[in-house]
Structure 1
Amino acid sequence: MYSLNKLSYPQRLFVWLLGYSLLMVGCFVVFQYHREKEFKAEEIDKQLQLINTYILNELSEGYDVPDIKLDEFKPFDNIRVSVISDKGHIIYDNTLDSLPKTNHLDRQEIRNAVLNGSGYAVRRHSESTGNYYFYSAKKSDEGNIVRTAVPYSVSFSGLLQADYGFLWIMGIITLVMCILGYFATRRVGLHIIRLNRFAENVENGAQISDTEPFPHDELGEISNHIVRLYARLQQAVADRDSEHRAALHEQLEKERIKKQLTNNINHELKTPVASIRVSVETMITHRDLSEEKQMLFLQRCLTNTERLQRLLTDVSLLTRMDDGSTSIIKEQVNLTDIINDVVEDRQIIAATKGMTIENYISRNIVMDGNPSLLEAVFNNLIDNAIVYSGGTKIKIELIGMGGEKVVIALSDNGCGVLSEHLPRLFERFYRIDKGRSRAAGGTGLGLSIVKNAVVLHGGEITAENQNSGGLLFKMTFSRK
């Protein structure tokens, strides 16, 4: 059995009050139910007693019982009429072919009629017919007893049932009492529990929170004042320490990010700068180089200059996004048109690599966004698939659109990546194959730009390997 000690104090208080209320209402309902049933039985008995009186009057006028007509008495049909002598023997019964020899003075209705002049029995089994009847008996001045009975059928049983409307009303009253009792005990219990918890926390030197107020009454107001005063004092000390730690952490984090970004940029700049320098020095030192060689070195300088420009552009874009969404201007755009333009622009480049881009998005997707950032998302993902996937097909699909969210998938049928690379795929300057990435002209910032751009549009992006091969990117955008 579940112990009350395992319940909280308000719960125990409510259980006791609930038990008391249910006991009180239950006793009243049972008492009223029996009173109502008894009242209805007496009403039926009064109607049958009218029939008994009528029969006795007819008998006193010389009529025989079989000649007495009872058709006018409603709502009872199939009334059983018996005449019983003062000795308890049945001398007439309209439902029996042969009269029983048993003495009926021990029957409840007969016994009461002998003692009080009338009596009734609600439901008693008849040994003569084998049925159940409601009996009503009345004694004549000569001592004989006339008894009428009606079969105790289902409909008759329903007539004697208590009014269930009353039971429903009492049930509703009980429910209201329970609800009111719950709130009353909860209010008192909250006072006690919170004061006890506050005392324990103060004793243990724990942090006191002022976010859970006491109930609004006199005791609650006093308790609230005490807790607030202590909480404010404790919070003032905590805020001072927290601000100091936050400032120190922010300073250290800025220095770490600055140092990391500087190191990464420095590392990325070394290769193209060195290549440009070598090319220029070679051309200066060897003035007699053929025109073909000079063109080769100039082309190398141009290629590395373009790489430097892409790196600076990507770093600038990331810096803008790091400054926060306030520096990014959004407007209402059609994402479907942006994707179509990017696909059309990249289709030729993809064809040179033996790849096709399949765009299955035809439904207009209108949202608040920055066109250049959204273009950067799909440009970088498609370029990434063209350069590194090794596949033959890129597919773009709308996989979910409801409410304020839209979900788009971009996948390829290439080689995918090893599972250990997936968690770091969106890190800045992270490369799976560093030599191959640099040779392809990548800056290592493309997927980082994609992630930041998606986040600035109220969404998220995930990457996973498909069972059929290739990478699958799922992007969720907020349309507001």
Structure 2
Amino acid sequence: MNIPVSHKHFLSFSRKLFLSVISLFLVFACCFIAYQYQREKEYKIDLLDSQLQDYNARLHEAIDTLPVTQKKLIEYITAHTLKDLRVTVIDLKGNVIYDSCQTDTHHLENHIDRPEIVKAIQTGKGFDVRRTSETTGIPYFYSATLFDEYVVRSALPYNVSLINNLKADSHYIWFTAIVTLLLVIIFYKFTKRLGTSIIQLREFAMRADRNEPIEMAMQSAFPHNELGEISQHIIQIYKRLHETKEALYIEREKLITHLQISHEGLGVFNKDKKEILVNNLFTQYSNLISDSNLETAEEVFTINELKQITDFINKAPKRPVSKEEKRMSITINKNGKTFIVECIIFQDMSFEISINDVTMEEEQIQLKRQLTQNIAHELKTPVSSIQGYLETIVSNDNIPREKINVFLERCYAQSNRLSRLLRDISVLTRMDEAANMIDMEKVDISVLVNNIVNEVSLELDEKQVTVVNSLKKEIQIRGNYSLLYSIFRNLMDNAIAYAGNNFQININCFREDESFYYFSFADTGVGVSPEHLNRLFERFYRVDKGRSRKLGGTGLGLAIVKNAVIIHGGNISAKNNQGGGLEFVFTLAKER
């Protein structure tokens, strides 16, 4: 699973939180100040209007109690009026009855459409802020009150004094600003502490992501609050998970090692048939059962012989109905070998397929039982021939010189065969008894095979054999050069000797993983009957004994090949190709 790398931001989380909350708070504070300012202004306007309305009411009482004469009205207004106050009495038709600023009211316009008069007639009272008088040309604050037969209107000039009187008090603005500043400072300190905790927690997460050790100083650096407690719990959980992960990793390595050295092929797959873990023998046996080489482990489900196993997996319910594991086992006979294939479906719907070669134990038993007999028989044949020819020469004095020379040549040929036989037996013995003492070095298989092809070029031309070497360059293996040479040389000599004439040899490395190279050495010759495939690697075993001895073979070439492959950590098997010919499939470990 790839984890996304965190990008650096211009602002930290604490800064973003601070700016976001402070922005909202400042917007609220500005709205509150604007609202309060407007409300204060309206309050002062209402207060002034109330004062003027009170004056209008007292003037109305005076008009009702005094004899209503122009002179006495002027006297009352003069005695009780405010400074610069203008008083106007208007009848219900809008005609001005009296105006303190105008002695002659006949020329004054009708006031029925004045806003304060309209409001007063409709609701009983009304005011208008800062309207310029058409009579005096001075702006006034008007306040009108409706009585039974007239409207009394008082007005104050809209001068600097009145403006200052109506201006909202700014003290609350300064108070709000100071409180806002204090709250900003307090919240900044709070978010800074919160940001410090988050930065420490982020540093821990980054170290955990990089699988770095968690220092004790980091564990004690968190603040003593709820976030600090949560962080401490997270660190403890991480430490336990890290310890569990290390323990699981060790167990996993043990399991992988066990699978690789297991004597049966094991493959573990998830519910989607994707490879989880596959050992070398599983790949080896799968390719032996299959008619074509498998490049990936998932291709095992396309093998026709394993159709029952594939159907069993496909028919399994997608969700487990019980805690019991489901098992199935089948037996397959292919290429002279008998395999037992078993499938186990686990509770999480992953499954394991094991392939066991049950013919191996029988081969080993037969090999041990027949080895002594074969060695005695193989040694007896050349010794008997040499002895017979020499007895004939010794017991017959009249044998012509030419015939004696023929007998001696045959004795020499049999002694050479005996020498090669003893040499091959010695090689096998050394490989069996001192495999760990063989010197290892870096060997380039591609160069090695090219050298062998050049060495046998005359034999290839004589039998009209074409070699197709598909090995890529620089296939490096750490092994013993002589043994690796014997693998490919014996396979090449075996094909030239027994595959017939006019055929093709294909050498290929069809797969590579972390530990192994997978090779195929195939020919298109006459092939081998299936009953012989399982015994080709036995010591002294020959498909055609008479022909093999005639060609000078010791019967140990493929046995040497098998032992050399095993010494290099691999396995080898033989099978017949569909198009004819014999194919050897084997693996070689990259490091030994």
Q: Which TM bucket (shorter chain)?
A: 0.3 to 0.5
Larger Rg, first or second structure (1 or 2): 2
TM-score, length basis structure 2: 0.39
* TM-score where L is the length of structure 1: 0.47
